[in-house]
C-alpha cells in the first residue's frame, strides 16, 4: 500500500511511519499509524488525529503520550502530515501559518495552490487506504485534532459524516472565517469570496445542520491559551451547537495553554470518548 519508513514496538503494539504516492495531492505524502496489540488478531476501531500548524505526522505520536491508552483500549491511531511537501509553490515556506505545515485541511481553489494543496480530498483518500490495507474497522472511525487540526477535524466530520462516527477537538479554531489565521489562509487558498470560505468553517457548517452527532462532541480549551481571544472563538461553535441542537461538552481549563502539555493532559479523555462511541 505504501513504503514503511520505520517501525517501533510500543506498549505491546507497533508504531509505524509510512510514505505513499497520493493521487489526491499528486505528491508523496507521509502518515503515521499506531496499531495496538489487539490488532494482531482482529480488526480494531480507528481514530484519525489532525495536527496543528507547523506540525508533521510525527508530532502527535512523539509528544501526546496517546499510545499507552490506545493499547489498553484496542484503538488504532492515524495521523497524516499537515500539508503537501515538495509542491514547489512560490513562497510556501515564507510564513509559518501558510503553506508548508499549514494546509488547513481544505481543497484550495486558487491556481497557485490548487494543484497540490488538496488536504480535504487527501483525508478521504487516506481513510480509504488505511481501511483497505490495515486491520481497522471502516465503520468504526473517529476524528479529532488540535488547533488547525481541531478545525480540520470538526469540518471534516461535518462534511463527511459517512466516514467519521465521532468527533472531538482540543483548542480548535472554531470560526476561521473570522480570525487572522483563517482569514490569511482562506484568502490565499480560496480567494476573496468570503461566502465560499464558510464551507470550511465549523461554526457556519453547524448552523446548517440538526444534531449531526447525537452522541455528542467533546472540546477541551485552556483558559491561559495565548490564542484563545483572537484566533479560536469556541463561543461561536458553542452558540452554533445550541442552535443546531447538537450536544456539546466544552470543557474550559484554568491555567492551561495551547501546547502539547495541555494535549497530553486531556488526551486520555478523548481516546475514551471516541472508543465508547465507536464500540457502541
Answer yes or no: are the C-beta atoms of 94 and 10 closer than 8 Å.
Answer: no
pLDDT tens, position by position, for the chain (280 residues)?
589 999 999 999 999 999 999 999 999 999 999 999 999 999 999 999 999 999 999 999 999 999 999 999 999 999 999 999 999 999 999 999 999 999 999 999 999 999 999 999 999 999 999 999 999 999 999 999 999 999 999 999 999 999 999 999 999 999 999 999 999 999 999 999 999 999 999 999 999 999 999 999 999 999 999 999 999 999 999 999 999 999 999 999 999 999 999 999 999 999 999 999 999 8
Q: What per-residue confidence (pLDDT) applies to 1? A: 57
Does 258 qualify as catalytic in the annotation?
A: yes
Please tell me which residue in 22, 32, 83, 147 is annotated as part of the active site. Answer: 147
238-268: b (≥16 Cβ within 10 Å) or e: bbbbeebebebebeebeebbbbbebbebbbb
Does 233 qualify as catalytic in the annotation?
A: no
Please tell me which residue in 225, 233, 270, 274 is annotated as part of the active site. Answer: 225
Answer yes or no: are the C-beta atoms of 229 and 257 closer than 8 Å.
Answer: no
Please tell me which residue in 127, 151, 233, 258 is annotated as part of the active site. Answer: 258
Q: What per-residue confidence (pLDDT) applies to 47? A: 98
Q: What per-residue confidence (pLDDT) applies to 280? A: 87
CA dihedral 130, 134, 139, 143 (to 10 degrees): -50
Q: What is the pTM of this model?
A: 0.98
State how far the Cα of 224 lies from the Cα of 179, in Å rounded to an integer.
Answer: 18
Place of cell 474550559: 252
Q: What per-residue confidence (pLDDT) applies to 2? A: 82
Does 225 qualify as catalytic in the annotation?
A: yes
Amino acid at each position: 500500500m505504501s513504503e514503511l519508513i520505520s517501525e517501533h514496538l510500543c506498549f505491546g503494539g507497533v508504531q509505524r511511519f509510512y510514505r505513499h504516492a497520493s493521487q489526491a495531492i499528486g505528491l508523496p505524502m507521509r502518515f503515521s499509524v499506531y496499531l495496538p496489540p489487539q490488532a494482531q488478531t482482529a480488526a480494531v476501531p480507528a481514530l484519525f488525529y489532525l495536527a496543528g500548524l507547523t506540525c508533521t505526522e510525527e508530532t502527535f505520536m512523539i509528544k501526546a503520550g496517546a499510545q499507552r491508552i490506545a493499547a489498553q483500549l484496542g484503538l488504532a491511531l492515524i495521523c497524516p502530515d499537515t500539508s503537501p511537501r515538495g509542491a514547489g509553490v512560490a513562497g510556501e515556506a515564507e510564513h509559518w501559518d501558510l503553506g508548508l505545515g499549514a494546509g488547513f485541511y481544505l481543497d484550495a481553489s486558487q491556481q497557485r495552490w490548487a494543484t497540490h494543496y488538496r488536504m480535504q480530498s487527501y483525508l478521504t483518500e487516506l481513510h480509504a487506504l488505511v481501511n483497505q490495507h490495515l486491520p481497522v474497522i471502516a465503520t468504526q472511525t473517529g476524528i479529532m485534532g488540535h488547533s488547525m487540526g481541531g478545525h480540520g477535524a470538526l469540518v471534516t466530520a461535518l462534511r463527511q459524516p459517512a466516514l467519521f462516527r465521532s468527533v472531538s477537538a482540543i483548542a480548535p479554531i472554531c470560526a476561521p472565517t473570522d480570525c487572522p489565521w483563517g482569514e490569511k489562509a482562506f484568502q490565499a487558498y480560496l480567494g476573496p469570496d468570503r461566502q465560499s470560505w464558510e464551507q470550511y468553517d465549523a461554526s457556519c457548517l453547524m448552523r446548517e445542520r440538526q444534531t449531526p452527532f447525537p452522541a455528542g462532541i467533546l472540546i477541551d480549551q485552556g483558559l491561559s491559551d495565548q490564542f484563545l481571544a483572537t484566533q479560536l472563538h469556541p463561543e461561536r461553535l458553542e452558540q452554533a451547537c445550541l442552535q443546531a441542537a447538537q450536544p456539546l461538552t466544552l470543557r474550559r481549563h484554568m491555567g492551561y495553554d495551547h501546547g502539547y502539555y495541555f494535549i497530553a493532559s486531556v488526551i486520555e479523555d478523548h481516546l475514551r470518548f471516541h472508543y465508547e462511541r465507536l464500540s457502541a
